[in-house]
Amino acid sequence: MEGNQKRQEPLSSSDWMAEAEAAMIRYCGAFSPILIGRAKGSYIYTNDGRAILDFTSGQMCSVFGHNHPEVAKAIAKASEESIHLLSTMLSPPVIQLCKELAAMLPEGLDKAILVNTGAESNEIALRMAKLSTGCFEVLGFTGSWHGMTAGANSSTYAAARHGYGPVIPGNRALPAPYAYRCPIRHCQGTCDHTCLEVGMELVDKQSVGSLAAVIIEPVLSAAGIIDLPEGYMAKLKRFCEERGMKLILDEAQTAMGRVGDAFAFERDGVVPDFLTLSKTLGGGLPLAATITSREIEEICHSRGFIYVTSHVSDPLPAEVGLAMLRVMEQEKLVERAREQGAYLKARLRELQERHECIGDVRGRGLLLGMEIVSDREKKTPAPDLGWRITERCLELGLSMNIVRFPGMGGVFRIAPPLTVSTEELDLGVAILDQAIADCVG
């Protein structure tokens, strides 16, 4: 070998975890104990050929199933044309995707920029909100997750805040409308928006008079699948308008039909100032978008707005985004998510009747939450039990994801691909049923 290059040994089938930990930065606590060889549809397959039903759609991104044929075709097409260009150079798929996104959305969501990740799309929205308003204070929900970059992470209150030093000045938290565990100990199961009113009163008292934006998810995912109650978003939008703030909706996990609407905000009839898309838009590839109004874009452009990265407006992911829009329409996946989501929620509530450790079942479409407790009446958190159930599910052939934060019982985020069959849903519920029984005894 020339120079200081190290000879690369083939991956050992028995010691792959040790090899991974020796070669990789451990970025997520502990790696999953299974090594994945391939993925297709609703399943992932271990390197030794074991099939595992995937109820998380990968990292919530393979919304139409793993390796959808149309996504593969789009990748092949882009590989024959162009994969990457100078950031100032545009290509037909980039322009076409921006046009098609705007055509799907109401007036006021007219112009788009394409980047890689949800954190990036939120960074753009935050930068444009601050530039267009001339202000810098940003509000976000307790339990929110908007990304790991500096601006997005400053408005992320689920985790990853401790030990990294100061966040960007001006960020403040609003209590999330977590009706099962009311943050202000007021509601019992049904949110009446009092937490929003109290939160805004506190913000007004703390603000230095430079309120720029609110950034929220229509369904908070990392917070434990908290669906904003009907009427909440309209009231929040009104509060924003009264204070000259911009409303940013982060639909990383709720767009592309996931909740039974093409976009989650459609249910509420409230048009945000910024819509950010990621995860589901790329179907497993890194693709994100920030969409805003012509007026805001014009103000920002006149003030010298800049956001240049190595992969802004890349042609390959844009080609995939166009394929995703076609698949959503042709396979009627919005309607499918609505129907299959209702079926799955009913099956989970059947489990709730049999297992006392299931405190709550909630969510919309195929983005559902199931909270695990040790005492249903007292809602006593049982995150460790939830984790044991997760591990047992994996042993039995089902990939589940649980979020565990202080004061929460441990909530399963259940998000199978929208292409999932009824038989696959039944299999997943059966495995979950057995896993709970095995862990509770």
Query: Known catalytic residues?
Result: 145, 217, 250, 253, 279, 413
In this structure, the number of other CB atoms found within 10 A of the CB of residue 29 comes to 5
Distance between CA atoms of 143 and 165, rounded to whole angstroms?
19
CB-based contact 379:24 (threshold 8 Å): no
Q: DSSP per residue over 395-411, as a string? A: HHTEE-EEE--TT---E
Of the candidates 111, 112, 96, 104, which has an alpha carbon nearest to the alpha carbon of residue 322?
Answer: 96
In this structure, the number of other CB atoms found within 10 A of the CB of residue 318 comes to 26
Residue type, 299: I
Token pair for residue 368? 């559902």
Distance between CA atoms of 277 and 109, rounded to whole angstroms?
12
Angle, helix 118-133 to helix 294-302, in steps of 10 degrees? 70
CB-based contact 174:140 (threshold 8 Å): yes
End-to-end distance of the chain based on CA atoms, in angstroms? Answer: 57
CB-based contact 275:249 (threshold 8 Å): yes
